[in-house]
Amino acid sequence: MGRSPCCEKAHTNKGAWTKEEDQRLVAYIKAHGEGCWRSLPKAAGLLRCGKSCRLRWINYLRPDLKRGNFTEEEDELIIRFHGLLGNKWSLIAGRLPGRTDNEIKNYWNTHIKRKLIARGIDPKTHRPLGVSTSAAAASSHRHDHLSARSSCSPETSTGACHSVNDDSASAPNDGGIDLNLSIGPPRQPPSPSQSPLPTRQEQAEATSGEILGHANISSDYT
DNA sequence: AACCGGGACAACCGCCAGATC
DNA sequence: CGATCTGGCGGTTGTCCCGGT
């Protein structure tokens, strides 16, 4: 049976955030910093789940967010990183300053998928369409999210549907993706020096760093 | 002018892994 | 050392908006 819910849903708001809620959240974080998300809603006077507050802050209220349209350069970077990392949106976002994983994920599903298909590239495998399992990917619609889940079968339900190593090892990259990336080092997490042991994120970053290193990446992207 | 379908995006859900007790 | 808690991630859904008919 699982875990208890992260919050008491009966007493929390859901749906779109109001301006007042945004203001409360921003004011609280400005005053106290990002702390315990679980207790934050109560402390800030918000009838929201802590996870919801975190998401709202990370994706929309953080002051360093870029927002606005993606540039062509960002498009290409996302495509290349996706070819290397698979659906590791947080890792991809970590290399695009001012962009969030959610934003990139949405952008991928709505824009880039179709762009790749138009180019004749399978957005899932980054191979030319028609070479491998292109049929499912050919339909760039909401329902191919569902079919995409087939890469995450229950038998392999580790949550890591796209193992980074598997993804790179199975080399989706040779299907027309130029791997000569020009990027800089990944963004540092807010307080990296405080944890002596690598976090999951840091380990993943390191792994991706290896991959990117193998891909002959220069570091002139800032 | 009204209706419909698709696109775009914000937000939620469930799961996982690390941290803490 | 196991159980529980918490933060984070990726997938999915809900809803609004816009263009076409």
Residue A87 has a pLDDT of: 86
Is the minimum distance from the CB of A136 to strand C below 7 Å?
no
Query: Tell me: the pLDDT tens digits for A125-152?
Result: 888 876 544 433 333 344 443 333 333 3
Q: What is the residue whose two structure tokens read 């399978």?
A: A122
pLDDT tens for A172-181 read: 444 444 444 4
Distance A17 CA to C2 C1' (A): 39
> CB of A121 within 8 A of CB of A76?
no
Residue A6 is predicted with a pLDDT of: 55
Annotate A184-206 with b (16+ C-beta within 10 A) or e (fewer): eebeeeeeeeeeeeeeeebebbe
Residue A111 CA to nucleotide B7 C1', Å?
A: 9
Domain boundaries, chain A: 19-61, 72-128
- A19-61 matches A72-128 in fold: yes
Interatomic distance A68 CA / B8 C1' (Å): 13
Q: Give, as ranges, the nucleotides of chain B with any atom within 7 Å of a protein CB.
A: 7-19
- The pLDDT of A145-163, averaged and rounded, is 35
φ/ψ of residue A121, rounded to 5: -115, 135
Nearest protein residue by Cα to C1' of nucleotide C5: A6
Q: Write down the pTM of the prediction.
A: 0.71
Helix axes A72-85, A200-214, angle to 10 degrees: 100
| CATH topology (fold) of A19-61 | Arc Repressor Mutant, subunit A (1.10.10)
Distance between the alpha carbon (CA) of A202 and the C1' atom of C16, Å: 37
Distance A87 CA to B6 C1' (A): 24
Q: What pLDDT is stored for residue A178 in this prediction?
A: 45
Confidence of residue A104 (pLDDT cuts 50, 70, 90): very high
CA A45/CA A140 separation, integer angstroms:
42
Cβ of A66 near strand C (distance < 7 A): no
**What is A72-128's CATH number?**
1.10.10.60
Higher pLDDT, A146 or A27: A27
